Amino acid sequence: MLRVGLTGGIASGKTIVCHAFARLGAKVIDADRIAREVVCPQRPAWVKLRQAFGPEFFHADGSLHRRELRRLVFSDPDKRRQLNEIIHPEVIREIQLASERVASIEPHAILVVDVPLLLETGMPDRFDRVVVVYADEDVQIDRLMRRDQLSLEEAMQALAAQLPLREKVTLADFVIDNSGSLKETQSQVISVWRELLSLAHNGRCGG
């Protein structure tokens, strides 16, 4: 199985690219979805978060108040590190389990794992290839403000909390520029997919 780590920056368009890969035949694992699942009420990460941050960051039904916690960690690096130390091990474990399930069912699949902080968390060695979804910074900010109803300051804080995309690009095996039209992005995805198919067929992938 060819394991592909897909990453980028916030509001760079990773979801669009993942959906495009899925339509082409890739098996996709979404780390964001897993991250939401591991903080469901009473799960281990939920318990640790409640102990670390307090009940004010939770709704009355026990669910995590994501918007408030996000505002806190984007403005406080120490709190952000604390959050990551709680959530990331749980997410990595679930990704590994999901990857093993795919490998047992389709050992020759191309698996694309969407991990927003793949490069920040030292995960590239877990993958055969890394794809970075790029977007110009002004495009990211505009998308982020509209999507999450953030102020300009909040959007810029969110970008500052991650490794700059220009640095991520230097660490990628493939780069998909999602600054332009959807058609342009899809064309790039198809091009990368053909190269991944070639790698998979030539056996240049992990066990």
The CA–CA distances, whole Å, from 52 to 27, 56, 57, 86, 207 equal 35, 11, 10, 9, 38
How many Å apart are CA 189 and CA 4, to the nearest integer? 13
Q: Confirm whether 60 is domain-assigned.
A: yes
Q: What is the pLDDT of residue 207?
A: 44
Q: Say if CB 113 and CB 31 are below 8 A apart.
A: yes
Q: Confirm whether 138 is domain-assigned.
A: yes
What pLDDT tens digit does each residue of the chain (207 aa) get? 999 999 999 999 999 999 999 999 999 999 999 999 999 999 999 999 999 999 999 999 999 999 899 889 988 999 999 999 999 999 999 999 999 999 999 999 999 999 988 998 888 899 999 999 999 999 999 999 999 888 999 899 889 888 999 999 999 999 999 999 999 999 999 999 999 999 998 875 554
Q: Say if CB 1 and CB 102 are below 8 A apart.
A: yes
Tracing tokens 């890739």 back to the chain, one arrives at 26
Q: What is the pLDDT of residue 123?
A: 87
How many Å apart are CA 196 and CA 126, to the nearest integer? 16
Q: What is the CATH number of the domain that holds 164?
A: 3.40.50.300
The count of structural domains within the chain is 1
- Smallest CA-to-CA distance from 6 within 179, 180, 143, 175 is with 175
Q: What is the pLDDT of residue 190?
A: 98
pTM of the model: 0.89
Q: Confirm whether 85 is domain-assigned.
A: yes
Give me the half-sphere count of Cα atoms (radius 13 Å) on the Cβ side of residue 207: 0
Q: Where in the sequence is the domain holding 97, given as residue range(s)?
A: 2-200
- Amino acid sitting at position 39: V
Q: Confirm whether 206 is domain-assigned.
A: no
Q: Confirm whether 123 is domain-assigned.
A: yes
Q: Confirm whether 205 is domain-assigned.
A: no
